[in-house]
């Protein structure tokens, strides 16, 4: 019986690339996305697709129960949030960015971990960002949320290190996804200028790394935030 993967934010960008790659690797893939139009456009490519907001804990619990077992979780759902200096960030923009990017990751991890621990096998890959390590100007809420994802990843990885469950994060630099549509060109130029390879990454490049982290081959590496940044990373 093939393993089952749940990919959040799976209707576009990195999430979709991960869903396609994991399907090609023989997994049964279910995608979750809050964007109904995008979800309907790609739903035929997936084993199953679900219109769920990851910030809704009750909806996530219900979904995971209906999919049981979930062997692989890829948390890719995310928003860029306010693209302004921090003193111009309003309460709603700050709260929504953390609700989706950080609390959404917490919600899905909390829902799948009991089953993974009971079965003695599981893989969780959280899509963080190089912004969570270095911070990007005018993306304070986003940077803070992704730093939180990295910290959460490291904490949970230690909690389940002896349970057969491996938990890692991936920290991309700027990737060619629809999320860039909400980011000012000035900010994009700033980010690309810091990449020694001089280009943006492709979602399929991230998916290749995620596929390894979600596999049996990744057996002695947990609690890490793997950079995929074209050389930008400084630590």
- Per annotation, catalytic residue among 142, 190, 226, 235: 142
| CATH architecture group of domain 4-226 | 3-Layer(aba) Sandwich (3.40)
pLDDT in tens, 56-85: 999 999 999 999 999 999 999 999 999 999
The answer to whether residue 177 scores a pLDDT higher than 90 is no
Which residues 6+ apart lie within 8 Å of 104 measured at CB? Answer: 8, 53, 54, 55, 75, 77, 78
User: Does residue 235 surpass a pLDDT of 90?
Assistant: no
235 is catalytic: no
pLDDT of residue 43: 82
Beta bridge partners of 6: 30, 73
**The model's pTM:** 0.94
Question: What are the structural domain ranges in the chain?
Answer: 4-226
């Amino acid at each position: 019986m093939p393993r089952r993967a749940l990919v959040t934010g799976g209707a576009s960008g990195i999430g979709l690339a991960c869903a396609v790659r994991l399907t090609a690797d023989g997994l049964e893939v279910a995608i979750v996305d809050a964007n109904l139009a995008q979800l309907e456009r790609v739903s035929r490519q997936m084993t199953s697709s679900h219109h769920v907001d990851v910030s809704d804990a009750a909806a996530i619990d219900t979904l995971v129960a209906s999919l049981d077992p979930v062997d692989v979780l890829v948390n890719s759902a995310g928003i860029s949030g306010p693209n302004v200096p921090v003193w111009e960030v309003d309460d709603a923009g700050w709260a929504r960015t953390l609700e989706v990017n950080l609390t959404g990751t917490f919600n899905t991890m909390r829902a799948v971990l009991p089953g993974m621990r009971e079965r003695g096998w599981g893989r969780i890959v959280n899509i963080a960002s190089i912004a969570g390590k270095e911070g990007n100007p005018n993306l304070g809420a986003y940077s803070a949320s992704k730093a939180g994802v990295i910290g959460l990843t490291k904490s949970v990885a230690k909690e389940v290190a002896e349970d057969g469950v491996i938990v890692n994060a991936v920290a991309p630099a700027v990737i060619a996804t629809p999320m860039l549509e909400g980011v000012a060109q000035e900010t994009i130029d700033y980010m690309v200028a810091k990449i020694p390879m001089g280009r943006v990454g492709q979602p399929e490049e991230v998916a290749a790394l995620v596929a390894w982290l979600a596999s049996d081959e990744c057996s002695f590496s947990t609690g890490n935030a793997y950079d995929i940044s074209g050389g930008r990373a400084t630590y």
